[in-house]
Amino acid sequence: MFNPQQALLQYSNVENSVKVNQATAYDLTKMLFDGCLKALSLTIFHVKSKNFSGKSVELSRSLSIINGLRDCLDLEEGGDLATNLDELYQYMAKTLRECSVSNDIEKLQHIHELLREISIGWESMPAECRR
């Protein structure tokens, strides 16, 4: 039997796979920012809705992405910017772990805003520097 939701999910997975395979490092990082911002928004929504299993899934996704962004930093070549981002990502991860217990919406929104600012900075990178 045809399940339209399953078909849509499968299409989405194939489409995302194609995007990842054709993406530059710049594009992949942008996708990570977008995915984390979406997961953080959903975390806030689930906390407000008292859907704590949904909150747990999205919060875990956010933490995984932030830790992945942190792991990709080149602290030897990246200078002060990489060091500052490393410290900021550490702060974000620590705060998100605290929010997993406290469900503090203000702190979640604060982390969302910090990541949004980093994402905006990433998007403003001159085209000749993107690879």
- CATH of residue 95's domain is 1.20.120.340
* Size of the chain, expressed as the number of residues it contains: 131
- What pLDDT does residue 2 have? 45
What are 80-109's pLDDT values in tens digits? Answer: 999 999 999 999 999 999 999 999 999 999
Mean pLDDT of the chain: 88
Q: Is residue 5 part of a domain?
A: no
Q: Is residue 78 part of a domain?
A: yes
Q: Is residue 3 part of a domain?
A: no
Q: Is residue 98 part of a domain?
A: yes
Structural domains in the chain (count): 1
Token output for 68: 């992945």
- pLDDT at residue 3 tops 60: no
Q: Is residue 71 part of a domain?
A: yes
Q: Is residue 4 part of a domain?
A: no
- pLDDT at residue 18 tops 70: no
- pLDDT at residue 10 tops 60: no
Average the pLDDT over each of 13-22, 29-38, 52-61, 70-79 and give the range with the smallest value: 13-22
- pLDDT at residue 19 tops 90: no
Domain that holds residue 91: 15-126
